Each structure stands twice: as C-alpha cells, then as structure tokens.
Amino acid sequence: MLLAESDSHLFSPPSNSNRCLVFEELLLDADWALNAGNWMWLSASAFFHQFFRVYSPVAFGKKTDKFGDYINAEAHIQDECVCRVKCCTWDPAVQGLVLKGINKEKYLPVLRKMPPEYIYEPWKAPLSVQQKAGCVVGTDYPRRIVLHEDVYKKNIARMSQAYKDNKT
C-alpha cells in the first residue's frame, strides 16, 4: 500500500528508484522481481498501463483486513508458510493455515486500543474515542499527508492527460 500511496496519491515520479531499493532492503518478505515489477506496475510506467486503477490504503485495508488485525498477508505454497517471519501456523481443526500475526500489536501499537471501525481512518474517530484509545491524531499518530479522495481524482486526470498527449 505504501507503493500505491507513493505513486498514485503523492504523485511521486516513477524514476525515483531509491524507493524500490529501500523496500528491497526493509520488506519482511522481499522478492526482487516482485518488488521491482510492482513499482513499475503501480506507477503505470511499464508493462501494465492501467493508471486508473488506484489502490486506496483505506479501502484496501478495510477489504482485506476488516478489523485491522494484520498488516500484511504473506505468500504461501500449498500448506506451508514460506515467508521469512513465519506468519502462519497449521491448524488441524480447520485443516489449513491460520494467519497468526504480523499485527498492529507489533507494528502499530499506538492503534492497539482503537476501535476496529477506526483502525484505517483514525482521523475520523471522535476526539473522545481517540483519547480513550491513547491515539490522538496529530499527537500520538501522524496527521494525514493527503486527502486520498481528492488526490485520486487529480492524479487520474494528470495521468489521463499524459497518456493522451503521448499517444503513438
């Protein structure tokens, strides 16, 4: 989601390859080919030019992790967890892998007490809820960098115009 945020919402130029290298070094489950390919894909600068597909970090999080328990789903092969952090364990009761935990407890402890409906949009929580959760936006948690709903429209218009201007 940081990749989508950087390219689609902050309109950061795709030529900035340092971002790719930072992710390569810091990702828990880094894979060079996937990392480089995804930077090109989400920046609409390579083989897949559907620039109008902009992933919202809020909508994506709500869709894939409704309660904010897990920040990242890892790659798996059949019944074995193959990621570096061993995020899953085999559960005989369900005869399958159960995600056990790249979670807010470890990576975003400030959101630990935030009610699930505000996990992905803590700025929407009333001040009293933020105070009770110990997560006041602007003090304990950073303010929003952009209004996603606004920059989404602006950047789609920019990309659309760029593609029209350079159509061959």
Give the tens place of pLDDT for each residue, 7-40.
555 555 544 556 666 666 766 667 777 777 777 7
Place 88 in a pLDDT band, splitting at 50, 70 and 90. low
For 22, the token pair is 């930072």
Say which residues have a Cβ less than 8 Å from residue 9's Cβ, sequence separation at least 6: 54, 146, 148, 151, 152, 155
Q: Is 30 annotated as a binding residue?
A: yes
Residue 42 has pLDDT above 90, yes or no: no
SS3 at position 28: coil
The mean per-residue pLDDT over the stretch 62-90 comes to: 54
Q: Is 31 annotated as a binding residue?
A: yes
- Which one of 19-28, 73-82, 114-123 scores highest in mean pLDDT? 114-123
Asked if residue 120 lies in contact with residue 62, where contact means CB atoms within 8 angstroms, the answer is yes
Residue 87 has pLDDT above 50, yes or no: yes
Distance CA 3, CA 91 (A): 32
Q: Tell me how far the alpha carbon of residue 125 is from its chain's centroid.
A: 20
Residue 114 has pLDDT above 70, yes or no: yes
SS3 at position 77: strand
Asked if residue 111 lies in contact with residue 122, where contact means CB atoms within 8 angstroms, the answer is yes
**45 versus 117: which is more confidently predicted?**
117
Say which residues have a Cβ less than 8 Å from residue 52's Cβ, sequence separation at least 6: 156, 159, 160
Q: How far is CA 164 from CA 28, 82, 94, 157, 159, in A?
A: 39, 43, 51, 11, 9
Distance CA 42, CA 136 (A): 32
Place 73 in a pLDDT band, splitting at 50, 70 and 90. very low
